[in-house]
Amino acid sequence: MTAKFATILCAAATVLVCAPRASFADEKKTPLEEQMSTMNKSFKTLKKQLGDPSKKDSSLELIAAIKKAAHASKDLEPAKAKDVPEKDRAKFITDYKAAMDKLVTGFDTLEKAVKADNADGAKAALEDLTKQKGDGHKQFQKDEDK
């Protein structure tokens, strides 16, 4: 086999193996995953630009978008709920909704700090939100998706 032929074969195999999987994964996103992905994109940008006072308006828009997605998330149920024993399921969902309310409250705190040009307050709120994200996923996300 020539090196060129091997390269072409390898590229073709990559397309065949990876492309259908990528689109399959997209189709399979749960409504909650969709909201989380929206939240994640804004959160990543927010983390990068929060220290930049010239981006204040944009940061406030990102926070508003995250809060909207968090409100929508609260009305959905984690996929893991189906794996929780029936006797514990109601509590699991109540706890999830309470954690989502706490997340919105955390973004309210961040919003206030940004509006007040309080850089230290914004940094502290962001750290708290990053922790909430980690804790929320540990508790409510399916093990295989973590």
Alpha-carbon distance 144 to 80, whole Å?
10
- Residue environment code for 14-29, b if the CB has 16+ CB neighbours within 10 A, otherwise e: eeeeeeeeeeeeeeee
Binder to ligand HEM among 36, 62, 114, 122 (CB under 6 A)?
Answer: 36
Instruction: Find out whether 124 and 110 touch, Cβ atoms under 8 Å.
Output: no
According to the binding rule CB under 6 A, does residue 141 interact with ligand HEM? yes
Which of 56, 68, 71, 133 binds ligand HEM (CB under 6 A)? It is 133
Could you say whether residue 29 binds ligand HEM (CB under 6 A)? yes
Q: Is the distance from CB of 104 to CB of 73 less than 8 angstroms?
A: no
Per CB under 6 A, does 109 bind ligand HEM? no
Residue list 59-88, contact with ligand HEM (CB under 6 A): 78-80
CB nearer to ligand HEM: give 56 or 99: 99
Contact between 89 and 81 (Cβ < 8 Å)? yes
From candidates 103, 110, 113, 122, binder to ligand HEM by CB under 6 A:
103
